[in-house]
Structure 1
């Protein structure tokens, strides 16, 4: 519907093709052309950028050109110059050479371990030989499920591997249809039950849920076979244990435990785009450098997932992000606009929610904090998105709210309007007895809970022992009162401090979500 309704030629996008270079380019971008926002072209636009521009058009009434300089899965290091990062211009070439040599070494080691597995013998001319229940797996290795196979003895393996297990069903159970849940599989899978294909899915973070017809089942041992293709990074059946089960006629059979495992095909460790776009400076050299002479109104930045794989990366992002903003401002348009507006999307909610608060909260809240630290720079702003993400999808489908919130920030930061562009943000707190009173800025028309009973979620408190527990919280005017019977003497409070802060429901009356925060630095 959004595509069909797009009819605004005053919004145009230029997509810079994905490209890279070992040294700064001396020529123009490798291609691309301007396209208008109409049904024939807008489907290829950045959705966030389009909704951002469309929202701005309603208030600014000026043409907006989007220069789309993006490469999915990239790391921040590739978007900065070598000089900014204290690297020599030869460093990229040297790193690429090392990566290629490592790829050759890994492939040789894999072939020595598993044989010359260039073509999967488990799938021959479309026939799933290793999925057949009559095919013996007695010579296969054992593997713990769920787990990424790299963590259980198969480091550096990219390619195809097969999993098999059995589930014993009664005659009554086998007479009914079943539902098979495998959780997410990295990257792609084809799944069979007793040799009958029940489903196939592409995507490393998509939970697998397959219908199994009763005609595929029988009393006794039923063979489940899963062929997994991994193109890079982690591989295998790796999701939460509670997502691994076969449900039939009211009974849930857990699939957690030891499965049989066999490598079918060893993939090449190629220098593909998802390796190249993490090498420092190479994308900047080819996709950004040719654009530096042009004048721009501002930058909107949506990146960070690839720098939040662990807490060390997430903490390092604090300095890297400030470096990027500062260096781009110095380089763009000859540095004529040293405070060109720079806006970004803070990482959304993602991953399996924590049942109890963890000591650090995970890498994503630390990453959000690292991004927010850049608000100390002039002419910056961020859109909070901890309520638009999805547990199992790193790329949330709700791009509309992201674009709208970014546009609000732009109206304030880039266009100087007096608008409320943020949800509630932490200002200060006071401990009173067994409670913590939290004061907020950006309350707008007032603080509200989105729960029907007015309660607030995603707050946690800790005492002197530094152990956080979930807390109760309520709105009291422009304050929030937080407490827990388990912490009679609180010393710290956190809000939405998790990878996926389920229950975070504090907003202002303008409908903008409160920003995550913590009062400790533990």
Structure 2
């Protein structure tokens, strides 16, 4: 029937859309007062109108125009602008968006530890009262999921104040506050987070297609997408059913009743909730592309911890596909490594709980322009939602300030494992990002890390028999490496550090107060 439709469903929908837009040029629902535009790039402005309609846009000293295409969509770009703390009006056709700033825009995405509000952070009462930063703005996107990509999503920009800040993402707020205090320019954060979600709903179809190691996921996803003749037939049958259903649905609506028996889309076999592959990307991320942004900060993994090493390939798919779709090059993508949780595992080999997914998160540093905020020293063993979001935001901001904003003097990462030098009963562990030197440190609450004289802990070693023992560890005299040994290991072949669910006793830092990332030198 699909080849003989007198009026296809697509045509009907286009008629309805054109009629609704005839009298008004529309922009995305999240284009509203107090928004922040990204500085120093060509800024995309887009929307919908009647096909061929002329759209005029003005902002500051710029006035540009374009025409809607045959489908009623239009897009134009403002020329790159310097940061501006003074609110201006963005005029699109006859619609005015007021108090618009130009500065830096970051997406804050992930699950509940990113969604966690400032009202639930340490010292929330004092922090909220002090949140008087009108140059910091948050766009809070409506949490919604969809089987198919959407072109719009609701969201509201708010000006940071004691009245609004309580509902800001705490990690995002402290990240933005640190950037603002250093840069003195507007900072916009886009809260695109959803508690309890795995990584799969955030990855678009493109991501599953881009990474060869995700072939089984791609096959599962493609069971229902119109990527072959069989599936195209299913979708055409579905569209035929919809076309037959529409007249009766319209009649019931005209009579003040709800339509009945809307046909079900082809069954995907995936979860009907928001947890299915691509579903949150479709409804929360796809609609905001290509909004001008600087980059992404990402806090997710608790719901995916059992995937271990496989998580890296999904993270790669996420990062590379978002970058590809945005078309802004390899924009920065900074990850929060999972905090400590549950009881301390006394077995030297570790490997329990979050150990493997932290390795996968750290492996994302193999991808260009990525960063890692290590947090196993600031979590809460009995709460998956630690309240110390101040240090999380601060550690993320160090990456941005050093890598994106020219603060080359900053030490932005804790020590990262570089290599193991075997020399018999003792072995030397070498690191990158040692700053001004290594130290044994102690972190208490929101206080800065302090150097201590206690023993260096958290290292385990194994010999040729691959049996693990806790190591005696000490920092070398020059402060650049760690020397490990055990009277139970004749020749050290491998070393692990903080490789467990709760590495709370691990205490290696650089002198700038950033913790060494957990690692394993072996592939056993």
Normalising by structure 2, what TM-score? 0.61
When residues 79 and 357 of structure 1 are mapped into structure 2, their CA distance, relative to the original with a 3 A threshold, is: same
1:318 corresponds to? 312
Distance 1:481 1:514 in 2: 15
1:139 corresponds to? none
Matched, 1:6 2:8: no
1:400-436 C-alpha deviation (Å, 9 max, x unpaired): 0000000001112222321210011112221222111
Greater relative contact order structure (CA < 8 Å, 6+ sep): 1
Pairing 1:57-456 to 2, within 5 Å after superposition:
57-85=180-208, 86=218, 87-88=221-222, 90=224, 276-308=273-305, 310=306, 313-332=307-326, 335=327, 337-358=328-349, 361-418=351-408, 419-450=410-441, 452-456=452-456
1:254-274 C-alpha deviation (Å, 9 max, x unpaired): xxxxxxxxxxxxxxxxxxxx9
Q: Secondary structure at the match of 1:84?
A: helix
Q: Secondary structure at the match of 2:421?
A: strand
1:87-141 C-alpha deviation (Å, 9 max, x unpaired): 238369x9xxxxxxxxxxxxxxxxxxxxxxxxxxxxxxxxxxxxxxxxxxxxxxx
Distance 1:338 1:450 in 2: 38
2:67 corresponds to? none
8 Å Cα contact 2:175-2:397 kept in structure 1: yes
1:266-308 C-alpha deviation (Å, 9 max, x unpaired): xxxxxxxx98232111111101111012110110000011110
Tell me how far 1:17 sits from its aligned partner: 1.3
1:190-222 C-alpha deviation (Å, 9 max, x unpaired): xxxxxxxxxxxxxxxxxxxxxxxxxxxxxxxxx
1:157 corresponds to? none
8 Å Cα contact 2:131-2:162 kept in structure 1: yes
Distance 2:440 2:331 in 1: 36
Tell me how far 1:394 sits from its aligned partner: 1.1
Q: How many residues align?
A: 333
When residues 481 and 338 of structure 1 are mapped into structure 2, their CA distance, relative to the original with a 3 A threshold, is: same
Which segments of 5 or more consecutive residues in structure 2 lack a partner in the other structure?
1-125, 209-217, 232-270, 443-451
Distance 2:411 2:131 in 1: 28
8 Å Cα contact 1:78-1:281 kept in structure 2: yes
8 Å Cα contact 1:381-1:413 kept in structure 2: no
8 Å Cα contact 2:335-2:373 kept in structure 1: yes
Runs of 4+ aligned residues of structure 1 deviating over 6 Å after TM superposition are none
1:36 corresponds to? 159
Distance 1:83 1:330 in 2: 9
8 Å Cα contact 2:462-2:489 kept in structure 1: yes
8 Å Cα contact 1:463-1:487 kept in structure 2: yes
Tell me how far 1:484 sits from its aligned partner: 1.3
2:486 corresponds to? 484
1:46 corresponds to? 169
Tell me how far 1:500 sits from its aligned partner: 0.7
Q: Secondary structure at the match of 2:204?
A: coil
Distance 2:207 2:475 in 1: 45
8 Å Cα contact 2:207-2:320 kept in structure 1: no
Q: Secondary structure at the match of 1:481?
A: strand
Tell me how far 1:35 sits from its aligned partner: 1.2
8 Å Cα contact 2:423-2:491 kept in structure 1: no
Which segments of 5 or more consecutive residues in structure 1 lack a partner in the other structure?
95-273
1:165 corresponds to? none
Moved more, 418-427 or 69-78: 418-427
Superposition CA RMSD, Å: 1.8
Q: Secondary structure at the match of 1:14?
A: strand
8 Å Cα contact 1:23-1:89 kept in structure 2: no
